A and B are shown apart, each in its own frame.
Chain A
Amino acid sequence: GQNIDQPTEMTATEGAIVQINCTYQTSGFNGLFWYQQHAGEAPTFLSYNVLDGLEEKGRFSSFLSRSKGYSYLLLKELQMKDSASYLCAVLDSNYQLIWGAGTKLIIKP
């Protein structure tokens, strides 16, 4: 079966750095997405990786290793507004998005 694993919950301190990991086992791979979802709101797109390596976008970076079935989302200079759930999703060989259950990130002052 297809599976996306990410931690259920993480806690970090304002101003610090946090890394949210995602491992996947899917039938084929056509890219990996990260989305942010604040409580009671719509998920919003953060990043898309299809090639190995690190993609940097401001305070957020996303890394992919296809050989290891692994990605992480790196958040720097954490702000209170970064408290949210972070969803990892993989596009499989049928171009269907397979979603992880999300990681709830709690930022403390």
Chain B
Amino acid sequence: ETGVTQTPRHLVMGMTNKKSLKCEQHLGHNAMYWYKQSAKKPLELMFVYSLEERVENNSVPSRFSPECPNSSHLFLHLHTLQPEDSALYLCASSQGAGRGGNEQFFGPGTRLTVL
């Protein structure tokens, strides 16, 4: 148990569906992240929020829309996804957005399958 929870753990959706992934951290951290993890590929950073403001958006398609209502919660809204978006989506949090040796604590991930 890392102090970061994600729901749902598994999600199957069609290309026309709209769904949301939820992340919650109980560690008092001020930075939160969304990553995409595909088989045998490096973790891809999608979004970073520091103090509830987005500070990073690595050319992620607009069909992924993040929301950070407060420092403990992070959402990833999904719409009109493609089959290649099928992957494990990981949420992480840290104290400070990557500064120094501040390790990131990861949630268990949401396994997303797009049909």
Residues of A within 8 A of B (CB): 4, 8, 30-31, 33, 40-45, 48, 50, 87, 89, 91, 95-102
21 contacts between A and B (CB under 8 A): A8-B40, A31-B100, A31-B101, A40-B108, A41-B108, A42-B2, A42-B4, A42-B90, A42-B109, A43-B90, A45-B104, A45-B105, A48-B101, A50-B101, A87-B43, A95-B99, A96-B45, A96-B56, A98-B42, A101-B41, A102-B40
Q: Find A100's partner among B42, B98, B103 (CB 8 Å cutoff).
A: B42
**Which 8 residue pairs spanning A and B have beta carbons closest together?**
A42-B106, A99-B42, A99-B43, A95-B98, A45-B103, A48-B101, A43-B106, A101-B42
Q: Is B107 an interface residue (CB 8 A)?
A: yes
Q: Is B32 an interface residue (CB 8 A)?
A: no
Q: A87: which B residues are within 8 A, CB to CB?
A: 43
Q: B108: which A residues are within 8 A, CB to CB?
A: 40-42
Q: B56: which A residues are within 8 A, CB to CB?
A: 96
Interface of A is mostly: loop
Interface of B is mostly: loop
Contact in complex: B101, A95 (CB < 8 Å): no
Q: A42: which B residues are within 8 A, CB to CB?
A: 2, 4, 90, 106-109
Q: A91: which B residues are within 8 A, CB to CB?
A: 98
Contact in complex: A96, B98 (CB < 8 Å): yes
Q: A43-B90, A102-B42 are in contact. List 12 more A-B contacts (CB 8 A).
A: A4-B42, A8-B40, A31-B100, A31-B101, A40-B108, A42-B2, A43-B43, A44-B106, A45-B104, A89-B43, A97-B98, A101-B40
Q: A41: which B residues are within 8 A, CB to CB?
A: 108
Q: B107: which A residues are within 8 A, CB to CB?
A: 42
Q: Is B74 an interface residue (CB 8 A)?
A: no
Which residue of B is nearest A88, CB measured? B42
With A44-B2, A96-B56, A101-B40 in contact, do A33 and B103 touch (Cβ < 8 Å)? yes
From residue 7 to 49 of chain B, which have CB atoms closer than 8 A to chain A? 40-43, 45
